[in-house]
Structure 1
Amino acid sequence: MNSRLRSTDRLPASARAGHWNAVIAEAYFPLDLTFRDAARFEGQLELGSVGDVSLSRLRTEPVQYERHRHHISGATQEEYLITIPRQSPVDFRQLGREVCCDPGGFILERGDEPYRFFYSAANDLCVLKVAKPVLATKLRNPDRYCALVFNGREGIGSLFTTMAQQIQKHGASDPISGAVLGRHLVELLALALDRTSDVDTGAGSSVREAHRRRAEAVILKDLSNPDLSPETIAEAVGISKRYLHELFAEVNSTVSQYVREQRLRAARDLMMMPNLGQMSDIAYRFGFSDQAQFSRLFKAMFGQTPSGFRAEVLSKSQG
């Protein structure tokens, strides 16, 4: 493993923060960095790769890293970071979870969702970067393991963290052996996540359920807005559009389908009121492009046309 060294050594104080931002973006992906003391900040990063795995050693003073939506919008590939702290604890927040990982543990970070990662004391980190498709071939739905702390002291977890740190230290003699080591690392990581995780699926599910309920509340509050879209809904909830789609897929639905169904139900409820007005006004009120579209979708969902439903309501009220 041929490693490259990046450092703040010999840099003037005024150049350190900007230089380190560029170093981090090159090694991982763009992030916003907050330094305790930018002028006195010291950092060193050794970066290399084995097969499909980027492997680095990061030694720095206290710093906070934040991934925001504007960083993610231009990303072309979904990636994970796996961080193994060796000197002091790290705090990590993502998808409503907030964890503290002590030395001896490790965490999985999702690069296509906003997060905050920081440590308040100098640290020495072993960091792996793996593309989502690479890990997904070994582990079903890796996203569910993000923002959880895993045991790196015992069992498979210990084998994984030890191997990662040894490869980072000694490297591989040639590209072929590097590719083999990279595959073994990914396989060990998958086994460690799958077997040693005390994944609190209840807590994870409750977080995702809470996000979905918030999204549903945003939709119900804004049904008459013709510009209601997955983008505006995700922004209002504080999650990414991709994550929003995942939440609805988990209940065998889509965002667009849920919006359409709720608009049709709201229109049906309105048609049960007196002094209804024109049917076309109801269609436009709930975001349908024309009355024909509204009538077709209404019949598909409720088994009768809007005018037929309205006539039935009037008949019952007069009887």
Structure 2
Amino acid sequence: MRVSYSAAQAAPEERKRFWDEVISRTYFPLELQFHDTPSFSGSVDAWSLGAVSLSRNVSDGMVYRRHERHLLHEREEHYLITIPERSEICFTQDGKDVRCRPGAFLVERSHLPYEFSYADPNALWVLKVPAATLRARIGHPERLATLSFDATRGIGALFVDMVRLAAPRLDEMDEAARGLTGRHMVELLAMSVEADDRVLASGASPVQSAHLHRVERFIRAHLARSDLTPQTIAEGCGISVRYLHQLFENQGATVSEWVRRQRLMMCDEALSDPNCRQSISDLAYQWGFSDQAQFSRHYKAFFGRTPSETRALARARLVAAASEP
């Protein structure tokens, strides 16, 4: 379902206040600074794609600031993947400055203050992804913040093409199809950023980082297998079991714990989708758990709530959002 806003809906003297409300509703609270123009021009189209959302933001030059005061009541962290189409954007977060021109995309983190600006009129595609959704597909997604990625070739170009080409068709889809489209966008995003050598950078050697990266991808691709043991993982990646355990020594979890964590996050993503109709037991079995009671215990220990509570909360939020004016 598309929601559209235009500053032209408001009187000229009310447009800046109107735009402030639109941005807060579409993304999260920000401080806005407008360039000195007689009247502000801007429009936003936004679509809900299950756990993620997509928007197209077209406006005159702007400065958006996220301050610590904006974070006080924020519970869920998100990442914004921004694709500029008309002019360069400048972004500062965590002491790092980056410029992102058309032909690239930028990753922003909601739980840290930042400044985002563009001097000239711009058109932005913005994919808003919950941190938990991204974390289920990319280890330590905080590494992505303030990085600009090439969107002119390979998987990066395919990701951006999908965003642009899917948007005109989203109104023709039902909720389930839009949710699936959103998941495919996140999968392509994960593949495109993982293809960048900077994402592999860590305290480990380049060889160890490459091996760990390959192991993580193998695990995510085979999470549904109930026999996904260290032995099968090592064999699938062409390394010894001993070396596999060595790779995870600095990850804060054993291999088996890391596998279980990935499974729990995939289940949580589905349970957090109010349009998901699979039973809790089916979800548990789909993601490699052989016993529902065991799954429920691990889930509550990890997330602090039961699977049923997560599902009920997601559906309550959907009802509340539908009742908003």
Pairwise mapping of residues 40-119 of structure 1 onto structure 2 (< 5 A)? 40-119=39-118
* 1:11-46 Cα deviation digits (max 9, x unpaired): 222211111000000000000000003641100000
Pair 1:166 & 2:150 matched? no
Q: Aligned in 2, Cα 1:96/1:201: closer, same or farther, shift over 3 Å? A: farther
Pairwise mapping of residues 173-192 of structure 1 onto structure 2 (< 5 A)? 173-192=173-192
TM-score (norm 2): 0.60
Check whether the contact 1:92–1:147 (CA below 8 A) recurs between aligned residues: yes
* 1:59-102 Cα deviation digits (max 9, x unpaired): 00000000000001110211111100011110000011101000
Pair 1:131 & 2:130 matched? yes
Check whether the contact 1:135–1:186 (CA below 8 A) recurs between aligned residues: yes
Pair 1:5 & 2:7 matched? no
Check whether the contact 1:83–1:126 (CA below 8 A) recurs between aligned residues: yes
Query: What is residue 36 of structure 1 aligned with on the other side?
Result: 35
Query: Which SS does the other structure have where 2:8 is aligned?
Result: coil
Deviation for aligned residue 1:53: 1.4
Query: What is residue 230 of structure 1 aligned with on the other side?
Result: none
Distance in 2 (alpha carbons) for counterparts of 1:251 and 1:195: 21
* 1:234-288 Cα deviation digits (max 9, x unpaired): xxxxxxxxxxxxxxxx999xxxxxxxxxxxxxxxxxxxxxxxxxxxxxxxxxxxx
* 1:91-115 Cα deviation digits (max 9, x unpaired): 0000111010000100110000000
* 1:208-233 Cα deviation digits (max 9, x unpaired): xxxxxxxxxxxxxxxxxxxxxxxxxx
Distance in 2 (alpha carbons) for counterparts of 1:144 and 1:198: 9
Q: Aligned in 2, Cα 1:58/1:14: closer, same or farther, shift over 3 Å? A: same
Pairwise mapping of residues 1-319 of structure 1 onto structure 2 (< 5 A)? 2-37=1-36, 39-171=38-170, 173-196=173-196, 198-199=198-199, 201=201
Distance in 2 (alpha carbons) for counterparts of 1:66 and 1:10: 24
TM-score (norm 1): 0.61
Distance in 1 (alpha carbons) for counterparts of 2:200 and 2:137: 21
Query: What is residue 320 of structure 2 aligned with on the other side?
Result: none
Amino acid at match of 2:27: Y
Distance in 2 (alpha carbons) for counterparts of 1:185 and 1:88: 23
**Tell me, which stretches of 5 or more residues in structure 1 are unaligned?**
204-249, 253-319
Distance in 1 (alpha carbons) for counterparts of 2:176 and 2:251: 44
Percent of aligned positions that are identical: 36
**Tell me, which stretches of 5 or more residues in structure 2 are unaligned?**
204-249, 253-325
Deviation for aligned residue 1:170: 2.1
Distance in 1 (alpha carbons) for counterparts of 2:251 and 2:180: 39
Deviation for aligned residue 1:180: 1.3
Distance in 2 (alpha carbons) for counterparts of 1:109 and 1:58: 16
Aligned pair count reads 205
Deviation for aligned residue 1:121: 0.5
Bigger-Rg structure (1/2): 1
Deviation for aligned residue 1:196: 3.0
Distance in 2 (alpha carbons) for counterparts of 1:22 and 1:10: 13
Amino acid at match of 2:165: Q
Deviation for aligned residue 1:174: 1.1
Check whether the contact 2:80–2:107 (CA below 8 A) recurs between aligned residues: yes
Query: What is residue 299 of structure 1 aligned with on the other side?
Result: none
Query: Which SS does the other structure have where 2:106 is aligned?
Result: strand
Distance in 2 (alpha carbons) for counterparts of 1:197 and 1:41: 41
Q: Aligned in 2, Cα 1:31/1:152: closer, same or farther, shift over 3 Å? A: same
Q: Aligned in 2, Cα 1:39/1:22: closer, same or farther, shift over 3 Å? A: farther
Query: Which SS does the other structure have where 1:40 is aligned?
Result: coil
Check whether the contact 2:194–2:200 (CA below 8 A) recurs between aligned residues: no
Distance in 2 (alpha carbons) for counterparts of 1:200 and 1:94: 21
Check whether the contact 1:16–1:39 (CA below 8 A) recurs between aligned residues: no
Distance in 1 (alpha carbons) for counterparts of 2:28 and 2:145: 17
Amino acid at match of 1:148: L
Query: Which SS does the other structure have where 1:5 is aligned?
Result: strand
Q: Aligned in 2, Cα 1:26/1:154: closer, same or farther, shift over 3 Å? A: same
